[in-house]
Chain A
C-alpha cells in the first residue's frame, strides 16, 4: 500500500493529522483529541514502511513546502497543548489537587478535603 505514494503525499497526511490535532486542542474537544491520537499513530506507522532513500529532483520543492507546513502544524499543536496543560495545572492546583503520579504510577494524590472549594 505504501509504495504507491511518495514522501510528499505521506507528509501531507501527517500535516492533516497534526492540523486535526491542533483543531481538537483549540476547540477544545476531548473526543476529537482521542481520535487524533489514532490518526497520528496510523500515519507514523505508514512512514515507518516508506523507503526514504531518494527523492526525485522534481519532487523536492513540493516536499519542502509540505515539510514546512507540517512543521508549522506541529508547532501549533505544541503551543496549544502547552496552553491547555498550563490551564489544567492552574485549575487543579487552585483546587488543591496534584496532577502528577506517585512512584507506583497510581492516580493523582488528592489534597485534604478542606482544601477544596477555595476557588474565587
Chain B
C-alpha cells in the first residue's frame, strides 16, 4: 500500500492514535481524585511495512490498559493489611489503657491504702476501728483487682464482637468480588467498561486486604482468585467461599474456613488479625499477669498473717480466702470470718500470743509494701502493677508506631514509583539500584545496633 493513498492512510492512523492518547490523558486528569482509579496509558504499536519499498506502516492503538505493576500492587495490599492490623491493635489497646488506668491512680492506690491501714493498726493495735479499717481496705483491694479483671474481660468480649462483625464483612466483600469476577469474565479488559470493572474489583480486593491478609492470583480478564494467607479459599472465579464462626469453651468466636476447619490461629494480618491478636494474645497476657499479682499479694499477706496472733491470742487465720492462680484477680476476697460482725478482732497484729500490745505482725504487713513479693521475688506489688501498666502502654506505642510506619511505607512505594517514572528504563534501573545500594550500606549496621540495644536492655533490667 505504498504511494500517496498509503501515505495518507498512515498519517490518518497516526492522528487517530494521538487523538486517542489525548482522550486517555483527559480521562486520567478528570479522575485524579477518584479513589481506586488506575491511570490508563495509551499503548501504541508500530505497524509493519506492507511491502519492501515502504519504511513502515506508522502506528496503531493497541488499547488503553490499566497500568498496574502486579507485583507492586500485591506489595501495597500486604502493607495495607499490616497497617490495618496495627491500627486495630492500637485502637483496642487504647481502650485497655483506659481500663487499667494510670500508674499511681488505680490498683497501686488501693495497695497503698491497704498497707497504710496496717501501719495505722500498728500504732493502735487494740483499736476496733483500726481493725475494721484493715478489713475494709483488704476488701477494697480485692475489689480493685476484681474491677481491673472485669474491665479486661469486658474489653476481650468487646473485641470478640468486632471479630464476628469483621467476619461478616469479609464474607460480604468476597461475595461482591465473586460477582465482579463473573462480570469481568464476559468483558474485554481493553474496553472502558472492562477498565471500570477492574478498578472496582481492585478496590474490593484492597478493602478485603484491609480486613484479612490475602494471597491473590489475577485472572485472565482482570478478576481475582483469593485465598487467606494460610491458603484457605475465599473466592475462586465466580464463587465465594464464606468463612464461618464457632465458639470455644470460653464462648469466644473461632473462625472456620468453608470446609469447617478452624483457622483463627492462621489469621495474623488485616484488621481481623489485629483484633484476634488483642483478644487472644495481649488481653490474656495482661489478665495472667494481673492474676499472678493478685495471687502473690494474697499469698504474701496470708503467710505473714498466719504467723501472728489475733486480739483473742489465737493463731492468725488466712486474711484472704484461698485462691487459685488462674482467675485470682477476679475471685480474690477477704476471708468471710474477718468480714463477719466483730471479725476485726481476728486480724492478727501481734507477734506474741496473748500480748495485744505487740504489733510485730501489723508492722511486718505494713512493710510488705516494700517487699519483693511478686514476679518471682523480683518486684514489689506496686512495681509489678506498674510493669503491667507500662506493658500495656508500650504495646500500644509499638502498635501506633507500626501503624505510622505502614502508612509511610505505602507513601514510600508511591513516591519511589513517581521518582523514577518518566525516564528511560535504563535510568529507572540505575536510580533503583542507587536507592538499593544506599539502603544496604545502612542495613549492614542493623545487627550491631540490635546487639547494642540488647546489651542496654540487659543492663537496665
Of residues 72 to 96 in B, which have CB atoms within 8 Å of A's CB atoms? 72, 75, 79
Q: A65-107 toward B: CB 8 Å interface, digit per residue (1/0)?
A: 0011011101111111101111110111111010100000000
Q: Chain B, interface size: which category?
A: 35 or more
**Interface SS of A by simple majority:** helix
Are the C-beta atoms of A74 and B435 separated by less than 8 Å?
no
What does the 1/0 interface line of B386-430 toward A look like (CB < 8 Å)?
A: 000000001001100110111011011101110110000100110
Q: Are the CB atoms of B460 and A63 closer together than 8 Å? A: yes
Interchain CB contact under 8 A, B436 and A84 = yes
Do B75 and A30 touch (CB < 8 A)? no
Interface: B203 (CB within 8 A): no
CA distance A81 to B439 in the complex (A): 7
Chain A residues with a Cβ closer than 8 Å to the other chain, count: 57
Q: Which of B125-133, B184-192, B330-338, B445-453 is the interface stretch?
A: B445-453
B456 touches A67 (CB 8 A): yes
Residues of A within 8 A of B445 (CB): 37, 40-41, 44
Q: Contact at A21–B442, with CB atoms within 8 Å? A: yes
Asked whether, in the complex, the Cβ of B442 is within 8 Å of the Cβ of A33, the reply is yes
A107 to B, closest residue via Cβ: B433
Residues B456 and A52 in contact, CB atoms below 8 Å apart: yes
B356 touches A (CB below 8 Å): no
Using A30-B434, A41-B445 as known contacts, say yes or no to A80 and B409 having CB atoms under 8 A apart: yes
The answer to whether B405 touches A76, judged by C-beta atoms less than 8 angstroms apart, is yes
Give bound CA distance, A30 to B442, whole Å: 12
Nearest chain B CB to A87 CB, angstrom units: 5
B43 adjacent to chain A (CB < 8 Å):
yes
Check: A64 CB closer than 8 A to any chain B CB. yes
- B41 contacts across to A, CB distance below 8 A: 120
CB pair A120–B65 under 8 Å, yes or no, is yes
Nearest residue (CB) in B for A118 is: B425
Q: Mark B98-122, 1 if CB is under 8 A from A, else 0.
A: 0000000000000000000000000
Q: Is B71 touching A93 in the complex (CB atoms < 8 A)?
A: yes
A93 to B409 Cα, complex, angstroms: 20
Say yes or no: A85-B71 contact (C-beta < 8 A), given A37-B441, A67-B460: no
Contacts of A70 in B (CB 8 A): 449, 453
Q: How far is the CB of B447 from chain A (nearest CB, A)?
A: 11
Report the separation of the CA atoms of residues A28 and B439 in the bound assembly, to the nearest whole angstrom.
10
Decide if B439 touches A25 in the complex (CB within 8 Å): yes
B340 contacts the other chain (Cβ, under 8 Å)? no
Q: Is the CB of B429 within 8 A of A97?
A: yes
Asked if residues A87 and B72 are in contact (CB atoms below 8 Å), the reply is yes
Q: B35 near A: Cβ within 8 Å?
A: no
Query: Measured between alpha carbons, how far is A21 from B453 in the docked complex, in Å?
Result: 17
Give the distance in Å from the alpha carbon of A90 to the alpha carbon of B317 in the complex. 71
Most buried by B among A86, A93, A116: A86
Instruction: Judge if B443 is at the interface, Cβ distance under 8 Å.
Output: yes
> Are B411's CB and A26's CB within 8 A?
yes
- Do the beta carbons of A63 and B71 come within 8 Å of each other? no
Q: A68: nearest residue on chain B (CB-CB)? A: B394
**Which of A60, A79, A90 is B405 in contact with, Cβ under 8 Å?**
A79
**Do B448 and A44 touch across chains, with their CB atoms under 8 A apart?**
yes
Task: Say yes or no: is B4 at the interface (Cβ < 8 Å to chain A).
Answer: no
List, in ascending order, chain A residues with CB within 8 A of B417's CB.
Answer: 87
> Which of B72, B394, B435, B456 gathers most chain A CB within 10 Å?
B456
Residues of chain B within 8 A (CB-CB) of A71 are 453
Task: Provide the bound-state CA to CA distance between A27 and B435, in Å.
Answer: 11
Give chain A residues whose Cβ lies under 8 Å from the Cβ of B453. Answer: 11, 67, 70-71, 74
Instruction: Provide the bound-state CA to CA distance between A52 and B454, in Å.
Output: 12
> Interface digits, B56-73 against A, CB 8 Å rule (1 contact, 0 not)?
000000000101010110
Inter-chain contact B435/A88, CB cutoff 8 Å: yes
Smallest Cβ-Cβ distance to A60: which chain B residue: B460
B46 within 8 A of partner (CB)? no
Among B43, B404, B439, which residue has its beta carbon within 8 angstroms of that of A85?
A: B439
The 6 closest A-B pairs by CB, nearest first: A33-B438, A90-B71, A26-B408, A83-B409, A76-B405, A72-B401
20 further contact pairs, Cβ within 8 A, besides A33-B438, A91-B429: A14-B452, A27-B415, A28-B415, A37-B438, A37-B442, A41-B445, A47-B452, A77-B442, A79-B405, A80-B412, A83-B75, A83-B79, A84-B436, A85-B439, A88-B436, A90-B69, A91-B72, A94-B69, A97-B429, A119-B69
Please give the residue numbers on chain A whose beta carbons come within 8 Å of chain B beta carbons, in ascending order: 7, 11, 14, 18, 21-22, 25-28, 30, 33-34, 36-37, 40-41, 44, 47, 52, 54-55, 60, 63-64, 67-68, 70-72, 74-81, 83-88, 90-95, 97, 99, 108, 116-117, 119-120
Residues of chain B whose beta carbon lies under 8 Å from any beta carbon of chain A: 41, 43, 65, 67, 69, 71-72, 75, 79, 394, 397-398, 401-402, 404-406, 408-409, 411-413, 415-417, 419-420, 425, 428-429, 431-436, 438-439, 441-443, 445-446, 448-450, 452-453, 455-457, 459-460
